[in-house]
Amino acid sequence: ERETEARERFKPALSPDGARVEVVANISDVAEAEAAVAAGAEGVGLLRTEFLFVNREAPPSEDEQVEIYAAMIAALNGLPIIIRTLDVGGDKEIPYLRMPVEENPFLGLRGIRFCLAHEDLFRTQLRAIFRAAEKGPVRIMFPMIAMVSELEAALRIAEAVRAEIGAAPVEMGIMIEIPSAVMMAPELARQVDFFSIGTNDLTQYALAMDRMHPVLAKQADGLHPAVLRLIDQTVRAADAAGIWVGACGGIAGDPFGARILSGLGVKELSVSIPSVAGVKAVLRRVPMAENQALAARALVCADAATVRKLG
Ligand code: PEP
Ligand code: MG
């Protein structure tokens, strides 16, 4: 089975009944961009740019960032990349940014909130991304959007930066990883080109279970029906607005999770590099009609354990 997977990893994830799901990779650096292509990924669905900012004394300059993004774009050789703007806070701390010590960092000044509060840092990164986007297919994604006003502020800044340097427009999207964003998905969808569901944080915030908690993390299962119903609601809102939905949290890379997500209507799965071949293989083997039936059954289960027993 593993050998077949390895041989077939470059074939698209086309189901026996003709449904196509894009399988892309989560990466953090240039070496991973190369590894993603070698693993059969059809692009990058999540570049975690935090990793450009860690293990150093000061933030990377605009030119340094352009160079790194451009190297990734070159490695992808025409395949698309979604660059997520800096998502610090929570578990991702960067000493020189002198982030405030908070009692509840996961509920604190993190993600887009931090960037909107540090507009210089945000503008520098956006300028670098727009410049790099001239070299290949780039999309921009904002993390941790909880409210329409945050998206509007982020879009306003991005558009101002783009106009200042005379760069071409790029597709803009957001992570859906906070329950309030699911509830506001119809309004959010009107202002972006795509959604990507961050199942790690969406699970944490829906179940009120710290994703790093030594005991609770195991129970914080992204296949909990509460989370699946949030995903279902997100896909319906996106469909109604005519935009596509991807997913980039951990369950997207689990073959059973990939079946359920695609059955719910998620069109792009962004997974860790070692998961690419296995996810493609399961999607090529199982008819989409079966995944849809599985997803429908999972939505009405009472808990995650019952969902897992459907597998
Ligand atoms: C997520 O929250 O599911 C996600 C993909 O982003 P991160 O793990 O970087 O928070
Ligand atoms: Mg997240």
pLDDT tens for 67-80 read 999 999 999 999 99
Residue 306 Cβ inside 6 Å of ligand 1? The answer reads no
pLDDT score for 206: 98
Pick 58 or 3 by higher pLDDT: 58
Ligand positioned closest to the Cα atom of 92: 1
Does the interface ipTM go beyond 0.95?
Answer: yes
Residue 177 Cβ inside 6 Å of ligand 1? The answer reads yes
Q: Which of 102-111, 138-147, 240-249 has the lowest mean pLDDT?
A: 102-111
pTM value is 0.97
Q: Indicate which residue's Cα is closest to atom 10 of ligand 1.
A: 201
pLDDT score for 3: 74
**Whether pLDDT at 49 is above 90:** yes
Count the Cβ atoms, other than its own, within 10 Å of residue 109: 16
Atom of ligand 1 nearest to the CA of 198: 3
pLDDT score for 218: 83
pLDDT score for 43: 98
Atom of ligand 1 nearest to the CA of 270: 5
Amino acid symbol at 147: M
Q: Is 98 exposed, middle or buried (0-12, 13-18, 19+ CB in 10 A)?
A: exposed
**H or E element at residue 46:** strand 44-48
pLDDT digits (tens, 9 = 90+) for 186-232: 999 999 999 999 999 999 999 999 988 999 988 899 999 999 999 99
Ligand positioned closest to the Cα atom of 248: 1
Q: What is the mean pLDDT of the chain?
A: 96
**140 near 178, Cβ under 8 Å?**
no
**DSSP label at 45?**
E
pLDDT score for 1: 65
Residue 50 Cβ inside 6 Å of ligand 1? The answer reads no
CA 291 – CA 29 distance, rounded (Å): 33
The mean pLDDT value for 270-288 works out to 98
Q: Which structure tokens are listed for 311?
A: 């597998």
